[in-house]
Amino acid sequence: MRVLIDMNRSKLVDDDIPLYYSLTKDLFVSANIVNVEYPGLKPAIRQMTEKLGILWNNPKDQAKENAWHISVEQFYETHNVRHGIMILGPTMAGKSATIYTLAKVMAEMNPDKKKYTVLKMNPKAITAP
């Protein structure tokens, strides 16, 4: 059940996620959908955003900040189950900030202090053989 959710949730739009959960509950009646918590990830994301100055704390706009932190967590989950990831969205939506924040968080959370390299490629530049 966890694999189904992790592999497919990243492909869905926000409005379709409750429908997807409902469908999986109908198909797998006895399965219990449990949200996975990653210890230390949320505080590390908050610390890194403050350290990098990516987000400003606006008390009126806490929902947007929380949504952005959730998107970093979802990117982390997707990174754990996929090798090649493509992030799409409009200009100034926080795609690059999400990528670089997660790379820095993962480097700091790693006990070996291993560096993470981000490779950005233009899909139009790749030709098929």
Degrees to nearest 5, angle at CA 75 with 8 and 23: 25
Evaluate if pTM is beyond 0.95. no
Give 41-65 pLDDT, tens digit per residue.
888 988 888 888 776 655 565 666 6
So what's the pLDDT on residue 2? 75
Q: What is the mean pLDDT of the chain?
A: 80
Tell me the residue ranges of DSSP E strands in 28-118: none
Degrees to nearest 5, angle at CA 47 with 43 and 50: 140
So what's the pLDDT on residue 87? 84
